[in-house]
Amino acid sequence: MPRALGAIKDQAQDPLVRVVEIAMQGFAKASEPGAFLVDNFPVLRCTPEWLLPGGGFKAIARRMRRELDEMYDLPYAFVKKEMEAGRARPSFISSYLEEKRIPTPADEELIKAAAASLYSGGADTTPSSMTAFILAMTLWPQIQTRAQAELDVVLGPSSSWTRLPTFADRARLPYINAIVLEVLRWNPAVPLGLAHRVTQDDVYHGCFIPKGTVVWANIWSMLQDPGVFPDPEVFRPERYLDADGNLRELERYEDPSIIGFGFGRRICPGMFFAMNSIFIGIATMLCVFNITKAKDENGEEIVPEVDFQGFISHPAPFKCEIAPRSEETATLIRRAAGQV
Ligand code: HEM
């Protein structure tokens, strides 16, 4: 079995990657509003399985349960085995197991569930934001140029670079921070959030909502409201900056980092982790790469379409070119990848 941490040689073949991918496909399907009639008509639960073609939603639910259990069990069993063999790399699971020493069955369930949530919650969402960022840089090169100029001021001229950007640089990179916010707004990774159930009768704008109703927060529509974000389809980080180029104090309704991660008790627990990952990913990519439009066989630039799809929203596949900004940055990339 491949190592859990470190370089993943072939993602499609790595069982620890596959198991999450499969479970998340089921999760996305099950979470789609209206995907299963039984969600709206719970009485259908009582239908005997033999009456449903191919076992219907009951057979699907059983398969998804099995896939979910595997996502909990496989990575946990792998780390335990590696620890017993004395070759485990430090990880979320290994540090909890070391702390607990003799975990009770309840501890084990909690550690498994926390690790699986951590991995599955971030496996598709953060990449969705990073791909949207690459699409935006392909379409709006002037934004990339301004962001790279900001980085060059903070890190010094590219010929003298010895390091990549770090979190310590963040406060001096307002434009990059604004790009992070605009990525969260332009392509909200979870555009409808997750289903919530109303715990008591409520009235909203004169509309009675009985206890037990399933409601969805339309994050996408809040972040595309032209009254709050003029020309919402345009990627424009300047929305979040004042006249001096500093980040503005944002009201809650105009802050994608507040809206994009959901609401209430079930708000995304990975929001700070996600914001940090996206920031460092974007800053690093801008530092070392130029992202440009790909060319077709006639040498004409290919302008990608903006087409976001899915319960976890991803841009449809598009073409672009990503090349090191200079020889120095190429060396930095190779060094970070452990190749020099
Ligand atoms: C761009 C990145 C991300 C976005 C936009 C995002 C957004 C969301 C949203 C909208 C929800 C639903 C909240 C609600 O029900 O109101 C959610 C739930 C969740 N997120 Fe994230 N998320 C991101 C990254 C992450 C990461 C990196 C992790 C884990 C490390 C994570 C873990 C979770 C978990 C476990 C839940 C379910 C929480 C629950 O139902 O109690 N997310 N996320």
Q: What is the DSSP string of 153-213?
A: HHH--GGG--S---GGGGGG-HHHHHHHHHHHHHS-SSTT---EE-SS-EEETTEEE-TT-
For residue 9, what pLDDT is reported?
A: 55
Instruction: Specify the pLDDT at position 6.
Output: 41
Annotated domain spans of the chain? 11-121, 125-336
The 10s digit of each residue's pLDDT in 74-106 is 999 999 999 999 999 999 999 999 998 888 999
Give the DSSP H/E element, type plus range, for residue 319: none
C-alpha to C-alpha distance for 163 and 226, rounded to whole angstroms: 40
Q: What is the pLDDT of residues 150-202, one digit of tens each?
A: 999 998 876 676 788 999 999 999 999 999 999 999 999 999 999 999 999 99
- What is the distance in A from the centroid of ligand 1 to the CA of 233? 24
* Separation of CA 87 from chain center: 30
Q: Is the shortest distance between the CB of 273 and ligand 1 below 6 Å?
A: yes
CA distance 109 to 135: 40
Ordered mean pLDDT values, 10 residues apiece, the chain (340 residues): 41 82 87 80 83 82 93 95 94 93 92 93 93 98 97 81 89 98 98 93 96 93 98 98 97 97 94 97 95 97 96 95 90 78
Strand pairing class (202-204; 207-209): antiparallel
Whether 256 lines ligand 1, by a CB cut-off of 6 Å, is no
Phi, psi (rounded to 5 degrees) for 47: -65, 130
In the numeric block, which tokens belong to residue 192? Answer: 């409808």
Confidence at residue 30, expressed as pLDDT on a 0 to 100 scale? 84
Q: Of 340, 20, 335, nearest to 162 (Cα)? A: 335
Q: 272 CA distance to ligand 1 centroid (A)?
A: 10
Q: Which of 266, 148, 98, 110 is nearest to 198 (CA)?
A: 266
pLDDT score recorded for residue 51: 79
Q: What integer pLDDT is reported at residue 106 of this predicted model?
A: 94
Question: Looking at the domain 125-336, which fold is it?
Answer: Cytochrome p450 (1.10.630)
Position 12 scores a pLDDT of 63
Task: Check residue 330 and give its pLDDT.
Answer: 85
Structural contact between residues 277 and 271, judged by C-beta atoms closer than 8 angstroms: no
Substitution site in 261, 275, 282, 308 for ligand 1 pocket (most atoms within 8 Å of beta carbon): 261
pLDDT at 329: 84
pLDDT the model gives residue 41? 81
Q: What is the pLDDT of residue 276?
A: 97
What atom of ligand 1 comes closest to residue 265's alpha carbon?
41
**Cα distance between residue 71 and residue 322, in whole Å:** 33
- Provide the pLDDT for residue 5: 34
pLDDT score, position 101 = 83
Calpha distance 90→4 (Å, rounded): 10
183 with 132: CB under 8 angstroms? Answer: yes
